[in-house]
């Protein structure tokens, strides 16, 4: 069945509720309204107010209640309306939930899924379009997922709900309605921690995630037509844990790498991947690993974001720089 990402996520949530009585969905306006982006629309009508319900406007309380529910055998799925609002819940997200298993000596687990819309390109400005995944990566015990397409979104979300560790599930705003693709209606999973080669190549590795995968694929094809090389494009899919085995295998083959991220340049996913490539495959490199990212400024308002975000042209330029080094 053809689905966009929003529809694929909604179907995954419905399957999770049907398959597991201990699954609950709650957050601001997720019940009657269906969430700020209508992702949970219709689920309260199907499963009742005991399974899908609204909460006060208090992110710290939402995640705090969810952590407590985990200790009582539930598998809560919570929605934070925009990624800029996670600051209110960081103690629960980054301290309480990820350390629950360790602190209790394995007595308790934290099968918590936190759904968070993120990313730009929709003219929403800061606090709504930020990419804050870099803040999450240094938290032991926390898994971070960022799908780029409807098929992966459904399978990764079902994996997240069934995982006994907390998972932050990042849903890029631009991808909710950007395109449709064939998605099986039945239950299936995509493994957390496994990247995917979406295009094979021999001369340079291009790494991306979320909304940066599509422009990366277009940039790869443009470069190939222009330079007569082939580009291997990898969709990271999971940011924590990173699939470094696949990344290193690709870099060892191509001897060059470029990483695209929508988050500001300093720290974050690209910096971590560069560090690990240097540790594990530096002798395979024929050029420094390049990163393409916005500048270290606050996310801009309005039309300025078109000049701030990585574009196909900037990705092509980065690939050429790596090839010509």
User: So which residues are the catalytic ones?
Assistant: 128
Q: Buried b / exposed e across 73-83, counting CB within 10 Å, b at 16+?
A: ebbbbbbbbbb
Asked whether the beta carbons of 156 and 237 are under 8 A apart, the reply is: yes
Q: Where does residue 190 fall: left (phi above 0), alpha (psi -120 to 50 degrees), or beta otherwise?
A: beta
Asked whether the beta carbons of 286 and 157 are under 8 A apart, the reply is: no
Asked whether the beta carbons of 271 and 250 are under 8 A apart, the reply is: no
Asked whether the beta carbons of 194 and 238 are under 8 A apart, the reply is: yes
Cis, peptide link before residue 241, omega less than 30° from 0: yes
Residues 59 and 28: their CA atoms lie apart, in Å, by: 9
Q: Is 320 helix (H, G, I), strand (E, B) or coil?
A: helix
Q: Give the pair of three-digit tokens for residue 253.
A: 């083959």
Residues 311 and 274: their CA atoms lie apart, in Å, by: 21
Asked whether the beta carbons of 313 and 320 are under 8 A apart, the reply is: no
Start-end of H helices in 24-164:
43-47, 59-70, 90, 97-103, 133-136, 150-162
- How many helices (H) does the chain have, and how many strands (E)? 12, 14
Helix axis angle, 5-19 to 150-162, nearest 10°? 30
Residues 262 and 125: their CA atoms lie apart, in Å, by: 14
């Amino acid at each position: 069945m053809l689905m966009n990402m929003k529809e694929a996520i909604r179907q995954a949530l419905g399957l999770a509720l049907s398959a597991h009585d201990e699954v609950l969905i709650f957050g601001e306006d997720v019940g009657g309204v269906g969430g700020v982006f209508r992702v949970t629309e219709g689920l309260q009508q199907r499963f009742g107010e005991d399974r899908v319900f609204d909460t006060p406007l208090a992110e710290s309380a939402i995640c705090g209640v969810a952590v407590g529910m985990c200790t009582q055998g539930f598998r809560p799925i919570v929605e934070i309306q925009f990624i800029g609002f996670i600051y209110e819940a960081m103690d629960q997200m980054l301290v309480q939930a990820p350390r629950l298993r360790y602190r209790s000596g394995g007595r308790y687990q934290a099968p918590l899924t936190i759904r968070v819309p993120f990313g730009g390109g929709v003219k929403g400005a800061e606090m709504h379009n930020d990419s804050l995944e870099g803040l999450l990566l240094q938290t032991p015990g926390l898994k971070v997922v960022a799908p780029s397409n409807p098929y992966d979104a459904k399978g990764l979300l079902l994996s997240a709900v069934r995982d006994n560790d907390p998972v932050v599930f990042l849903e890029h705003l631009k991808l909710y309605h950007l395109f449709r693709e064939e998605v099986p209606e039945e239950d299936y999973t995509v493994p957390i921690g496994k990247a995917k080669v979406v295009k094979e190549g021999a001369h340079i590795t291009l790494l991306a995630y979320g909304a940066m995968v599509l422009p990366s694929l277009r940039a790869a094809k443009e470069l190939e037509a222009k330079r007569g090389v082939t580009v291997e494009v990898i969709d990271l899919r999971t940011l924590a844990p990173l699939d470094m085995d696949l990344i290193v295998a690709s870099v060892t083959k191509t001897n060059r790498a470029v990483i695209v991220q929508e988050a500001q340049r300093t720290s974050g996913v690209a910096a971590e991947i560069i560090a690990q490539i240097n540790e594990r495959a530096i002798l395979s490199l024929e050029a420094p690993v390049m990163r393409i990212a916005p500048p270290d400024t606050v996310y801009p308002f309005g039309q300025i974001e078109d000049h701030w975000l990585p574009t196909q042209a900037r990705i092509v330029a980065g690939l050429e720089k790596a090839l010509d080094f």
